[in-house]
C-alpha cells in the first residue's frame, strides 16, 4: 500500500521506498489534493491554495502540468490498490483511502482515543500510533499563505493529542515516556498550562517532586511576564498538592480530561423566524467556512464584514447563516452585541466585550488579568487551534473590533455594522459584504412568511404597494406585517392607504419599542455624523432626483466638490446613502423621509430655500452645457449667473453630455417640477426648453409632454410670454408624437400667435416648420409646402443659416412625399452642402435620410442604401434613437427592393429593438415587414408610408 505524508515533508511512500514528488509547486498541488482526498477540488481552489490570490499568468497551464506529473508518480505505485487522480465535473479527485494519508489517519486515531468508552489500555497505544505520524513541521518546505494557515491549524491539535496520551500513560503507570516527550514539548508550548500540568504529574510519579515544582515556577513567571496573570486553579491546586506531598494517581479519567477541555460556548441568538432570500450573501459567507480558501490570503485570521443601512437585516442574515453552519465549528460559537448603533445606551467598550468572551470560554473571574492588553492576549491564547465562530454584531468602528479578533486561521469572525469598516478591510484583509434592500420578490416572501400567501394573493396590488411604501426595507416590512397580524380582519389595501397617507413621514413605523421604531433606528446612524455630513444628509431629503452626484451635492450644500465628495463618503460609510454606481449616490424613500423631517425641524427656511435655489441653478446650467455639446448650432439661451456655491458640470465630449442626460433623466424631470412648485418659473421653462432635444431624440415623449405642461403652467402664472411661446411649441411637438394631433395643432397655433406678437421671426419660423410637419405626417403634403416656404423666408430674413438649411431639407422631404423626387434631390443637395459648411452632423443625417428616400423613389436602390447608411452612422454619433429606427426601416425597404432580403430583415430587426425599447406604436408595422416579404417590392408612396419623420428642434436643428 502507498502512504501519503503531510505531517512533515510532503512525501509518497510505496513498498518501503520514497517516490519522487517533484519541485515545491508540484508538492503543493499534491498536498492541496490530499487534504481533500476522495473529494472534488476545483481548479480555482487549487490555484488559490498553491499561488494565492494573484496567480501569475500561465498558472493554470502550470497546474495542468503538475497534475500530469502527479499522475505519472501515482502510476509508480505497484502495491495494493493504486491511487488515481481523475477529473470529475467540477474538479479533480485524488482517489485514495483517507487512512493512507497521515493527517486523516491522525484525526481518526485521535477521535477513537477520545471516545468515553475507550479503555486506557487501548487509548495509550492509539495515541502513540497517532503521535508517531508526526515527523516534524507539517507541510515542511511549502511556502504560501494557505500552507502557513493549514500548518498552524494542524499544529494546534498536536499538544491536545500529546496531553491526552500522557494522561492515558500515567493512568496505566507508565510515566517515563511522558517525561521524555513532554520535557521537550513544554518549550514549544510555554503558555499551555495543560502541558505543564501533566509533566508535573509525571515528574512527581517518578519521585522528582522538586523538578515538578520547578516547572510550576517557570510557567508562573512566563504567564506573569507575557499575559499578566497567575496560573489557573488546576495548576495552583496541583502545585499545592505536590508541596504537601499529597497527590493521588490520576485515576479519574474524566477529571483529568478537564485539563484539556474548554467549555464549548453556544451563544448564538435565536434564528430569525421566516427568514427569506439573501441567497447570494449566504453563498458568500459559505465561502469562508473551514476548508475554504479565504479571500484575503495576506492575513491569518479570516474576517467577513457585513455592512448595510439601518433595518436592512444584517443581524438576521448572519445569525440565520450561523445556525445553518454551526456544526462546522465543533469548538462552539461566540456572540457579542457591541451596541455600536443602539437607540438607547452606549456602545460596548472593547475591554468589556473581551471580559464577556473570556467568561463564555470558561475563564473564572480570578484568572482574568487586569490589563486590557493581557485580557486580549489570553482571549487569543484560548482560541488558538480552536474552530470557533465569532459573531461581532453592531460594531461602531474598526477600533472597537480589533481587540476582539482571534489570532488563528481556525476561527472565523463575522462582523456586522452600519459602518463600512474599511479599516478592517485595508489593515486586516477582511472580506466586505454589503447588504442592500430586499429584492421585490424577497420582500413579498417576507410578508408571506408573516401573513400567509393566501392573504397576499387576495390583494396582489395592495401587497406590491406595501412593498414599495416600505422601500423594501426588512425592518419596515416586519413592522407593517406585525400591524397586519394584529388586525387580521383589516384588508391589506387599508394598510396600504394608511402608509400612503403617511408618505413623506415615518409615523406609520413609529412605536414604543426603540428596537422597531424607524426614527430611533435611523437616529443612531445620523448621530454618528459630523456636523457638515449631517447637514448634507438633511438636504438630501429635498433633492429633486432619486440619486445625487458629487457636483450636485456640492451645489446643494454650497461647498467645493472635493469637500462634497468627502461628505458623501462619510454618509456612505454610515450607510445613510449608497453609492450604487461610481459617483452616483441614493437613499431609499424612508431615509429620505427621515432626512426631510430633520431638515424641517433643524434648518431655517431661508437655508432650505437657498439650497433649493442652488440645486435649480446646478441642473439648469449643467443641462444647458450638455445641450450645447450635443447640438453646437443650437441658439444660445440667456441664463442668469448661478448663485455662489453652485458647481455646474462641464463636458469634454458629446458622449459625456449624452451620458449625463441619460443618468439624470428622472432628476431633470423632477427639477422642472420643483422649479414650478417653488415659483421659479424662469428656471422651469428654460430647463424644459433645454431638454427638448434630448427627450425628442431619445423618444421620451411622455416625459417631454409632462415637463412642457408643468413649465407652461408656471410661465402662464407669471405672464412670461416668451416662455409660453417656447412651451406651446414644445408641447405641440410632444403631443403629436403621442398621437394627440388635435391638441398638438392647438398648441402650435397658440405658439404662432405669441411669436408674431413678440416679433421673433426665428421662433415664428420654427412654428411654421412644426405646422408643416404635422400636415405632412397626416398626409396633407401639398398643404405643408406653404409653411415650409414661409419658414425658409423667415430664416433668410433673420440671417439664420441653420434654420434655412433645415427648411431646404423640409421642402425636399415634402416633394419626395409628393413623388417629385428630382425636385426633392435639388433641395436636399443644397441643404447638405450648407449643413456640411456649418458642421451640423445631426442635420446632415436628416438630409442623407431624405436623399435615400428620394433615390428609392427613383429606383436607385444602391444609392438609397448608401444614403441611409450615411444617415445611420451620423445618427449613431449624435445619440439619436427614434430617427435611427426610422432610417433602419427605410434601409430595410431599400435592401428588399435590391433583392437583399436577409439584410433587410436584419435592418428591420434592429429597428424593432429600438422601437420596442421606446414602446412605440410603429412596432406592429415593423413586425409585419419581418413576417411577410412581398414578392414584388414597390418603392414607398405617400399613401402607404406610415413611419413618421421628426421635425426641427428649437433652433431648427432636429428633424
- Average pLDDT for 451-473: 88
- Average pLDDT for 353-363: 86
Domain co-membership, 422 together with 446: no
- Average pLDDT for 420-424: 88
Is the pLDDT assigned to residue 542 strictly greater than 60? yes
Domain co-membership, 255 together with 285: no
Asked if the structure places residue 560 within a domain, the reply is no
Domain co-membership, 828 together with 914: yes
Nearest in space to 732 (alpha carbons), one of 759, 771, 695: 771
Report d(CA 731, CA 778) in Å as an integer: 18
Domain co-membership, 346 together with 402: yes
Domain co-membership, 305 together with 413: yes
Res. 502 pLDDT band, cuts 50 70 90 = low
Nearest in space to 158 (alpha carbons), one of 136, 131, 192, 179: 131
| Res 515: pLDDT | 62
Burial track 604-617 (b if 16+ CB lie within 10 A, e otherwise) = eeeebebbbbbbbb
Neighbouring residues of 462: CB distance < 8 A, sequence distance ≥ 6: 491, 492, 493, 495, 496
- Average pLDDT for 175-190: 82
Report d(CA 259, CA 197) in Å as an integer: 8
CB 82 within 8 A of CB 89: no
pLDDT in tens, 14-28: 878 888 888 888 999
Asked if the structure places residue 727 within a domain, the reply is no
- Average pLDDT for 771-799: 87
- Average pLDDT for 102-127: 84
From 81, 102, 123, give the residue that closes a domain: 102
- Average pLDDT for 899-910: 88
Report d(CA 740, CA 289) in Å as an integer: 62
Asked if the structure places residue 143 within a domain, the reply is no
pLDDT in tens, 670-690: 999 999 998 899 999 999 999
| Res 248: pLDDT | 65
Domain of 788 in residue numbering reads as 784-931
| Res 947: pLDDT | 46
Q: Number of structural domains, the chain?
A: 5
Residue scoring higher pLDDT (346 or 583): 583
- Average pLDDT for 622-637: 83
- Average pLDDT for 855-879: 91
- Average pLDDT for 924-939: 66
| Res 182: pLDDT | 86
pLDDT in tens, 709-751: 999 999 999 999 999 999 999 899 889 888 888 899 899 999 9
Is the pLDDT assigned to residue 664 strictly greater than 70? yes
Domain co-membership, 377 together with 469: no
Domain co-membership, 299 together with 396: yes
Domain co-membership, 467 together with 354: no
Asked if the structure places residue 86 within a domain, the reply is yes
Asked if the structure places residue 538 within a domain, the reply is no
Is the pLDDT assigned to residue 504 strictly greater than 70? no
Domain co-membership, 240 together with 286: no
From 457, 479, 501, give the residue that closes a domain: 501
| Res 296: pLDDT | 37
What predicted TM-score, i.e. pTM, was given to this entire model? 0.58
Find the CATH number of the domain harbouring 339: 3.40.50.300
Residue scoring higher pLDDT (456 or 939): 456
Terminal CA-to-CA distance of the chain, rounded, Å? 84
Q: Which three cell numbers stand for residue 681?
A: 418659473
Is the pLDDT assigned to residue 400 strictly greater than 70? yes
- Average pLDDT for 636-645: 87
Res. 246 pLDDT band, cuts 50 70 90 = confident
| Res 831: pLDDT | 92
Is the pLDDT assigned to residue 958 strictly greater than 80? no
3-state SS of 333-369 is: EEEEECCCCCCCCCCCCHHHHHHHHHHHCCCCHHHCC
Other CB atoms within 10 A of residue 491 CB: 14
| Res 366: pLDDT | 66
Residue 537, H or E segment: helix 531-540
pLDDT in tens, 591-624: 888 888 889 889 999 999 999 999 999 999 999 9
Domain co-membership, 444 together with 391: no
Asked if the structure places residue 565 within a domain, the reply is no
Find the CATH number of the domain harbouring 895: 1.25.40.10
Q: What is the mean pLDDT of the chain?
A: 84
- Average pLDDT for 878-900: 89
pLDDT in tens, 199-217: 898 888 888 888 888 888 8
Domain co-membership, 212 together with 304: no
Percent of the chain having pLDDT more than 70? 91
| Res 479: pLDDT | 84
| Res 613: pLDDT | 94
- What are the beta bridge partners of residue 432? 305
Domain co-membership, 355 together with 317: yes
Q: Which three cell numbers stand for residue 402?
A: 480589533
Is the pLDDT assigned to residue 300 strictly greater than 80? no
Is the pLDDT assigned to residue 580 strictly greater than 80? no
| Res 79: pLDDT | 67
From 468, 484, 501, give the residue that closes a domain: 501
For the ranges 430-434, 520-524, 816-820, 853-857, which has the lowest average pLDDT?
A: 520-524
Asked if the structure places residue 417 within a domain, the reply is yes
- Average pLDDT for 164-179: 86
Asked if the structure places residue 223 within a domain, the reply is yes
State the burial class of residue 822 (Cβ atoms within 10 Å of its Cβ: 0-12, 13-18, 19+). Answer: exposed
Is the pLDDT assigned to residue 232 strictly greater than 60? yes
| Res 368: pLDDT | 76
Is the pLDDT assigned to residue 270 strictly greater than 70? yes
Report d(CA 447, CA 467) in Å as an integer: 9
Amino acid at each position: 500500500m502507498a502512504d501519503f505524508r503531510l505531517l512533515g515533508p510532503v512525501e509518497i511512500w510505496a513498498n518501503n521506498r520514497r517516490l519522487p514528488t517533484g519541485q515545491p509547486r508540484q508538492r503543493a498541488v499534491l498536498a492541496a489534493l490530499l487534504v481533500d482526498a476522495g473529494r472534488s477540488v476545483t481548479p480555482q481552489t487549487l490555484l488559490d491554495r498553491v499561488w494565492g490570490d494573484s496567480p501569475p499568468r500561465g498558472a493554470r497551464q502550470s497546474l495542468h502540468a503538475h497534475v500530469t506529473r502527479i499522475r505519472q508518480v501515482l502510476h509508480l505505485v505497484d502495491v495494493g490498490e493504486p491511487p488515481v487522480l481523475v477529473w470529475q465535473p467540477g474538479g479533480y479527485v485524488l482517489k485514495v483511502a483517507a487512512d493512507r494519508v497521515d493527517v486523516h489517519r491522525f484525526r481518526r486515531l485521535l477521535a477513537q482515543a477520545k471516545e468515553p468508552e475507550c479503555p486506557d489500555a487501548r487509548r495509550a497505544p492509539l495515541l502513540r500510533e497517532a503521535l508517531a505520524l508526526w515527523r516534524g513541521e507539517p507541510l515542511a518546505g511549502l511556502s504560501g499563505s494557505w500552507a502557513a494557515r493549514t500548518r498552524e491549524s494542524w499544529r494546534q491539535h498536536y499538544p491536545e493529542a500529546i496531553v491526552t496520551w500522557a494522561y492515558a500513560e500515567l493512568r496505566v503507570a507508565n510515566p517515563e515516556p511522558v517525561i521524555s516527550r513532554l520535557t521537550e514539548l513544554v518549550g514549544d508550548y510555554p503558555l499551555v498550562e495543560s502541558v505543564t500540568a501533566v509533566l508535573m504529574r509525571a515528574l512527581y510519579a517518578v519521585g522528582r517532586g522538586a523538578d515538578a515544582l520547578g516547572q510550576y515556577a517557570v510557567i508562573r513567571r512566563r504567564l506573569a511576564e507575557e499575559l499578566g496573570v497567575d496560573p489557573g486553579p488546576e495548576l495552583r491546586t496541583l502545585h499545592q498538592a505536590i508541596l504537601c506531598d499529597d497527590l493521588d494517581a490520576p485515576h479519574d479519567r474524566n477529571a483529568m480530561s478537564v485539563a484539556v477541555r474548554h467549555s464549548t460556548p453556544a451563544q448564538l441568538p435565536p434564528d430569525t423566524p421566516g427568514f427569506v432570500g439573501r441567497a447570494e450573501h449566504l453563498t458568500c459567507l459559505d465561502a469562508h467556512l473551514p476548508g475554504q480558501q479565504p479571500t484575503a490570503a495576506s492575513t491569518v485570521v479570516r474576517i467577513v464584514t457585513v455592512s448595510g443601512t439601518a433595518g436592512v437585516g444584517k443581524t438576521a442574515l448572519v445569525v440565520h447563516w450561523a445556525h445553518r453552519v454551526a456544526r462546522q465549528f465543533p469548538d462552539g460559537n461566540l456572540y457579542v452585541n457591541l451596541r455600536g448603533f443602539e437607540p438607547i445606551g452606549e456602545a460596548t467598550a472593547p475591554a468589556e466585550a473581551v471580559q464577556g468572551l473570556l467568561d463564555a470560554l470558561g475563564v473564572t473571574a480570578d484568572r482574568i488579568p487586569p490589563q486590557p492588553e493581557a485580557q486580549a492576549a489570553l482571549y487569543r491564547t484560548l482560541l488558538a487551534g480552536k474552530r470557533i465562530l465569532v459573531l461581532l454584531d453592531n460594531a461602531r468602528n474598526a477600533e472597537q473590533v480589533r481587540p476582539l479578533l482571534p489570532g488563528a486561521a481556525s476561527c472565523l469572525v463575522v462582523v456586522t455594522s452600519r459602518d463600512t469598516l474599511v479599516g478592517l478591510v485595508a489593515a486586516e484583509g477582511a472580506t466586505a459584504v454589503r447588504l442592500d434592500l430586499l429584492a421585490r420578490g424577497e420582500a413579498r416572501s417576507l410578508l408571506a412568511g408573516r401573513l400567509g400567501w393566501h392573504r397576499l394573493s387576495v390583494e396582489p396590488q395592495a401587497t406590491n404597494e406595501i412593498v414599495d411604501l416600505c422601500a423594501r426595507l426588512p425592518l419596515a416590512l416586519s413592522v407593517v406585517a406585525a400591524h397586519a397580524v394584529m388586525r387580521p380582519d383589516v384588508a391589506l389595501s387599508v394598510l396600504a392607504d394608511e402608509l400612503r397617507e403617511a408618505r413623506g413621514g415615518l409615523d406609520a413605523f413609529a412605536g414604543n419599542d426603540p428596537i422597531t421604531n424607524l426614527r430611533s433606528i435611523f437616529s443612531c446612524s445620523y448621530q454618528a455624523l459630523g456636523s457638515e455630513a449631517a447637514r448634507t444628509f438633511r438636504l438630501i431629503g429635498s433633492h429633486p432626483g432619486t440619486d445625487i452626484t458629487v457636483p450636485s451635492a456640492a451645489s446643494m450644500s454650497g461647498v467645493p466638490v472635493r469637500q462634497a465628495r468627502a461628505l458623501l463618503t462619510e454618509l456612505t460609510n454610515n450607510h445613510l446613502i449608497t453609492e450604487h454606481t461610481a459617483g452616483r449616490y441614493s437613499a431609499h424613500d424612508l431615509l429620505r423621509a427621515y432626512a426631510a423631517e430633520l431638515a424641517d425641524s433643524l434648518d431655517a427656511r431661508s437655508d432650505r430655500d437657498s439650497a433649493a435655489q442652488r440645486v435649480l441653478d446646478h441642473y439648469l446650467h449643467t443641462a444647458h452645457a450638455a445641450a450645447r455639446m450635443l447640438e453646437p448650432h443650437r441658439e444660445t439661451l440667456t441664463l442668469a449667473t448661478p448663485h455662489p456655491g453652485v458647481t455646474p458640470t462641464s463636458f469634454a465630449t458629446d458622449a459625456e453630455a449624452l451620458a449625463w442626460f441619460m443618468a439624470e433623466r428622472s432628476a431633470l424631470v423632477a427639477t422642472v417640477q420643483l422649479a414650478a412648485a417653488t415659483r421659479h418659473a424662469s428656471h422651469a421653462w428654460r430647463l424644459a426648453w433645454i431638454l427638448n432635444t434630448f427627450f425628442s431624440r431619445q423618444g421620451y415623449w411622455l416625459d417631454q409632454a409632462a415637463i412642457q405642461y408643468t413649465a407652461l403652467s408656471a410661465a402662464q402664472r407669471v405672464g412670461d410670454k416668451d416662455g409660453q411661446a417656447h412651451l406651446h411649441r414644445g408641447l405641440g411637438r410632444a403631443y403629436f408624437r403621442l398621437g394627440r394631433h388635435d391638441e398638438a395643432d392647438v398648441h402650435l397655433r397658440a405658439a404662432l400667435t405669441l411669436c408674431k406678437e413678440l416679433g421673433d421671426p426665428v421662433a415664428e419660423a420654427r412654428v411654421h416648420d412644426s405646422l408643416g410637419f404635422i400636415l405632412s405626417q397626416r398626409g396633407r403634403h401639398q398643404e405643408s409646402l406653404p409653411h415650409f416656404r414661409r419658414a425658409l423666408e423667415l430664416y433668410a430674413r433673420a440671417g439664420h443659416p441653420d434654420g434655412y438649411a433645415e427648411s431646404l431639407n423640409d421642402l425636399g422631404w415634402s416633394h419626395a412625399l409628393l413623388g417629385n423626387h428630382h425636385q426633392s434631390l435639388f433641395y436636399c443637395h443644397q441643404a447638405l452642402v450648407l449643413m456640411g459648411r456649418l458642421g451640423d452632423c445631426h442635420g446632415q443625417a436628416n438630409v442623407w435620410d431624405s436623399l435615400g428616400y428620394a433615390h428609392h423613389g427613383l429606383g436607385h436602390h444602391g444609392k438609397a442604401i448608401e444614403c441611409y447608411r450615411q444617415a445611420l452612422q451620423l445618427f449613431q454619433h449624435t445619440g439619436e434613437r427614434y430617427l435611427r429606427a426610422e432610417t433602419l426601416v427605410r434601409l430595410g425597404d431599400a435592401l428588399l427592393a435590391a433583392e437583399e432580403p436577409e439584410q433587410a430583415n436584419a435592418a428591420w430587426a434592429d429597428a424593432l429593438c429600438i422601437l420596442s425599447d421606446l414602446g412605440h406604436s410603429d412596432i406592429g408595422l415593423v413586425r409585419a415587414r419581418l413576417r411577410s416579404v412581398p414578392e414584388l417590392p414597390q418603392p414607398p408612396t405617400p399613401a402607404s408610408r406610415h413611419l413618421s419623420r421628426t421635425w426641427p428642434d428649437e433652433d431648427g436643428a432636429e428633424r
